[in-house]
Structure 1
Amino acid sequence: MHSTENQTPRTLGDHTWQQSAACRSTIHNQVDPDIFFPEPDEMARIRAAKTLCAQCPVRGTCLDAALENGDRDGIRGGMTEEERDPLHRNFKSRLDYARVNAVLAGRDIHVTHAERQAVARAAYQADMPADRLARLLKVTEEHAQKLYRRIRRQIRNRAVDQQKKAKKAAKKPRGRTETVKTPATKTPGRDDLGTAA
């Protein structure tokens, strides 16, 4: 997980976390929002924004929200656009089991493709009815049944592959192995290598 604090994943559409953000302007603490949108060479503004982010109790949630919403502009979660770019590129493959467990517990949160697959697999292994999986993932029951069929196929294929490997390993001879002696070769000396062209 890329979050900076141990957090419960936010519910879809929940923006209440922003009330706790260090960058939120109040009567007593005026924050210029432009500080979070510096040019790449404006190091003083970048440092100022990151200093504010370092104090923020919801920095991880801010970063998650930026990734989930595809927000690539500005400093979010204490990271510049350039620093977040690899996270954006790899976001679909994020697999956070805290999120998987939250969905299985019925929470309505954002999950990636990899996390959706993990939810479906865990539900299948727990013999969860397809209609319940459909409600958890916000898909049709037919789609949930299709996910279960795909998982059954993956499990079957893995078992078949393991059987093939076991048979192949069993066919290998288990006796003494003969060592084949190879003739000793002379290591070339400096004079044998010639000169560079």
Structure 2
Amino acid sequence: MHHTPEPSEPRLLGDQSWHAHAACHPTHHHEVDPDLFFPEPDEMDRIREAKSLCAQCPVRKTCLDAALENGDREGIRGGMTEEEREPLHSKLEHRLDYARVNATLAGRDVHLTKSERRAVVRAAYQADIPSERLAWLIKITHEHADKLYRRTRRELRNRTVEQTQLDRTDTVIGFERPTPPASLTRQRDDLGRAA
């Protein structure tokens, strides 16, 4: 029996088991023409039919994520046409999904964007996860993990120095810095506990 990822659970790298749960997966009782998902731009009836099938699909989000992560630019994937997915492809490297960050910190092998990878490194550093473990989590050498921790330490130190300077300026001018909303503080705490 295959494991179907929950909607909020990122799929593992290389995991294709979700295909068996897709609404477009052909079976003996449900024949689906794969060409339906590769219509010409002016074939509106075929596009509507494909999107209608996608709308019923329990793994639609996983399908869309897989298309974006694999750079699949052809056909209808995850209920979106090539043109509808194009802006998502260009923004993918900036995606920051904390479910993926937490899954990685918990030892799952998921696709990470550059932003998510930086968040994993920062969260691991702040949680005092050894660099050997970070190296294993994100599939890099121990030396590279040490380098990323040095960079993170420097970034956090510089941010603390800048914050202290801003606080001094605010005190001199007479302004008080607002406290971050509890939801942001809680989100940071959750991230740290995931490891």
TM-score (normalised: structure 1) = 0.83
Whether 1:31 aligns to 2:41 is no
Task: Name 2:152's counterpart in structure 1.
Answer: 151
How far has the Cα of 1:168 moved from its partner?
A: 2.4
CA distance in 2, matches of 1:49, 1:90: 25
1:173 Cα deviation after fit: 7.5
Deviation at 1:166, TM superposition (A): 2.4
Q: Which residue of 1 aligns with 2:10?
A: 9
Q: Which amino acid aligns with 1:142?
A: E
- Cα displacement (A) at 1:137: 0.2
Q: Does 1:70 find its partner at 2:93?
A: no
Deviations 1:30-66 (A, max 9, x none): 1111110111111100000000001111111100100
1:82 corresponds in structure 2 to: 83
Q: Is the 8 A contact 2:132 2:142 kept in 1?
A: yes
Give the 5 Å matches for 1:131-142.
Answer: 131-142=132-143
- Once the 2 structures are TM-superposed, how far is the Cα of residue 9 of structure 1 from its aligned partner? 1.1
Q: What residue identity is the alignment partner of 2:84?
A: E
Aligned residue number for residue 105 of structure 1: 106
Q: What SS does the corresponding residue of 2:71 show, helix, strand or coil?
A: coil
Amino acid at match of 2:160: A
Cα distance in 2 between the residues matched to 1:114 and 1:143? 17
Would the alpha carbon gap of residues 173 and 66 (structure 1) be closer, same or farther in structure 2, given more than 3 Å must change? closer
Deviations 1:132-177 (A, max 9, x none): 0000000001111111111111111111111222232344379xxx
Distance in 1 between the 2:24 and 2:134 partners? 38
Unaligned runs of 5+ in 2: 1-5, 176-195
Bigger radius of gyration among the two: 1
Q: Percent identity?
A: 66
Stretches of structure 1 that go unaligned for 5 or more consecutive residues are 175-197
Structure-1 residue corresponding to 2:129: 128
Letter in 2 for 1:108: D
Question: How far, CA to CA, are the matches of 2:110 and 2:164 in structure 1?
Answer: 39
